Amino acid sequence: MGLEQFKTRGFFSASKDTVGLEERPDLFVEKTIELPYICGFAGAVVPLGKALNNEQAIAELSLTKTDGINPLTHSEFEELTGFRKRFWVDGVPAKDGFFNETAYRTYLRDHYLVPAGKAAIVQGSEVTGMKEDEIDKWFIGSAAGPEGLPEALLPGRKPFYIWAACPGGGLVLHELWQHEKEYQGKNIGVVFSDILTPLTPPDSTRAIFTDTATFFVIKKYGSAFRVRHSELQVMPDEGQILKVRPLYDSPADFDPYNPSYILQITDGGMTVNYSPYEGKYAVVINGAGLVRWVGNVIAPAITNFIENYNQYHPDDPIDTKSLVVVSHQANGKMLETGLQKKHLNKKFPQIKVPFVMADIGNNSGASLLVAINRILRDPQYFDFSDGKPKRFLAAGFGAGLVYTISLVEVSPSIVSPSI
């Protein structure tokens, strides 16, 4: 399909047909991205919809330079964001075509998120060799967060439900640390199912996001993969950096300035509630504000985490000379240039913050877990030839505002030779 044909196809036009993924096998045409075992951790990314390179995305969204006239080039967009490719689902019905909000939520859950999640479990099981009934503990994550997703996707399994956007992967790691005794020695399964791009405005925001479903396995948690320490912080989004209209209701007495209302934790999961806002699109990002927040908040938080941990563990400190920080993959330039070079390297010159999602896009909460698997298998960041355990920091952050920083220790007891 040529560029002009692609542009006139009309992505994201409101569909009048109530057709879901299970009736649209064309939305599963892209090849599953396999994440082989490394340190007992493996999984798969199932792309949803069609793949678009930068040239196609720029044409579809009419993205221009700062002059507002001349179009961006594909190399300029990659320089700004780090992304070269993403996956987009077309034809998702608009909310105004449904009788009420509940009907819309139910439709998206049953026709999109559940079939996508099931596809991820099937494809991921082939990669991991782990059958569904061999999983002892389940997590489900979704940025949209429609009610009833856990029961619809995994009936009878009672998964821990992460109702959150980009912090989702970090919240999984924090829960593993917080209740380690419950997960020790168990096979952990994690599913993220997200349709993101139709919910974002048709600008550069949409161009960085991608539609995927993912499945991860941690074999016998604690044996080769363990969260040694984790910290979680919640703060009001006073600057409206990340506005989200989820597919679930915030509590009637929700206070957007009270952290205990923003993140609610129960035995069955974690829910990030958002400040009420009405708009045509469900996710709106203040890009400049996000970059400042990452530099002014996340970077100092990582520094403080390292210093505080080393103060209280003088006999077992974090070695910053070879430390890798695996971050939520929001934007390549923001991570490698902003977070690493402009901030962390001033205090710790040898810390690295890799970006490894250029070929997938930002798939919200799942991106941290995808990045962990890819970075562990990359010899420029980890060398397991000495047979010794290694450590890294995992930073999950995003809408809420919520962030987690976790110290993860991995053992080379299960290492895949493929990179």
**Residue 97 — pLDDT band, cuts 50, 70, 90?**
confident
Using 50, 70 and 90 to split pLDDT, how confident is the model at 15?
Answer: very low
249 found inside a domain: no
Are residues 206 and 294 located together in one domain of the fold? no
What digits encode the pLDDT tens for the residues 35-46?
A: 999 999 999 999
Which pLDDT value is given to residue 396? 97
Q: Is residue 111 a part of any domain in this protein?
A: yes
pLDDT surpassing 50 at residue 403: yes
Task: Specify the range with the lowest mean pLDDT, choosing from 9-18, 97-106, 238-247, 408-417.
Answer: 9-18
DSSP 8-class letter at 93:
P
DSSP state string for 174-198: HHHHHTHHHHTT--EEEEEEE--GG
Could you say which DSSP state residue 317 is in?
A: -
Q: Which residue has the tokens 């948690």?
A: 221
User: Which token pair is 379?
Assistant: 């010899």
Structure confidence at residue 233 (pLDDT) = 97
Q: Before 376, cis peptide (omega within 30)?
A: no
In 3D, which of 318, 361, 355 has the Cα closest to residue 336? 355
Q: At what angle do helices 367-376 and 168-178 cross, to 10 degrees?
A: 80
Would you call 78 helix, strand, or coil by DSSP?
helix
% of residues, the chain, pLDDT over 90:
68
Residue 21 has pLDDT above 90, yes or no: no
The DSSP output letter for 267 is: T
Find the range with the poorest average confidence among 252-266, 304-318, 347-361.
252-266
* Domain end call among 218, 240, 263: 218
C-beta separation of 169 from 369 below 8 A: yes
Query: Do 181 and 41 have their domain in common?
Result: yes
Q: Is the dihedral of CA 188, 123, 127, 146 positive or negative?
A: negative
Residue 416: inside a domain:
no
371 occurs within a structural domain: yes
The number of distinct structural domains making up the chain is 2
Which of 12-16, 261-265, 347-351, 398-402 is the least confident region?
A: 12-16
Mean pLDDT throughout 257-284?
Answer: 86
Assigned domain for 18 exists: yes
Domain end among 167, 197, 218 = 218
Query: Regarding predicted confidence, which is higher, 104 or 404?
Result: 404
Domain C-terminal end among 187, 218, 249: 218
Tell whether 213 and 303 lie within a shared domain.
Answer: no
Q: Strands 325-327 and 390-398: what pairing?
A: parallel
Within its chain, how far is the Cα of 274 from the centroid?
Answer: 18
| 210 and 306 fall within a common domain | no
pLDDT of residue 366: 97
Q: What is the pLDDT of residue 283?
A: 84
Structure confidence by residue, pLDDT tens digits, 121-167: 999 999 999 999 999 999 999 987 778 999 999 999 999 999 998 99
Q: Is residue 269 part of a domain?
A: no
CA distances in angstroms from 323 to 11, 249, 349, 403, listed in the order given: 42, 40, 10, 19
Residue 171 lies in a domain: yes
Do residues 373 and 42 lie in contact, with contact meaning Cβ atoms separated by under 8 Å? yes
Percent of the chain with pLDDT over 70: 92
What residue type is 339 in one-letter code? L
d(CA 253, CA 304): 33
pLDDT, mean over the chain: 88
Domain CATH code at residue 155: 3.40.47.10
| DSSP conformation letters of 210-265 | --EEEEEEETTTTSSEEEEEEEEEE---TT--EEE--SSPPPTT--TT-HHHHEEE
Closest CA to 115 of 85, 158, 152: 152
For residue 375, name the pLDDT band (cuts at 50, 70, 90).
very high
The residue that leads in pLDDT, 21 or 128, is: 128
Q: In this predicted structure, which of 2-16, 54-68, 145-159, 248-262 has the lowest mean pLDDT?
A: 2-16
Which pLDDT value is given to residue 324? 98
The token pair at 174 is 């924090």
- Report the C-alpha gap between 94 and 96 in whole angstroms: 6
In this structure, the answer to whether residues 181 and 44 fall within a common structural domain is yes
Residue 153 lies in a domain: yes
Same-domain check for residues 8 and 113: yes
Average pLDDT in the 107-116 region? 90
pLDDT value, residue 105: 82
pLDDT at 4 over 50: no
- State whether 62 and 153 are in the same domain: yes
Domain span at 325: 225-231+286-410
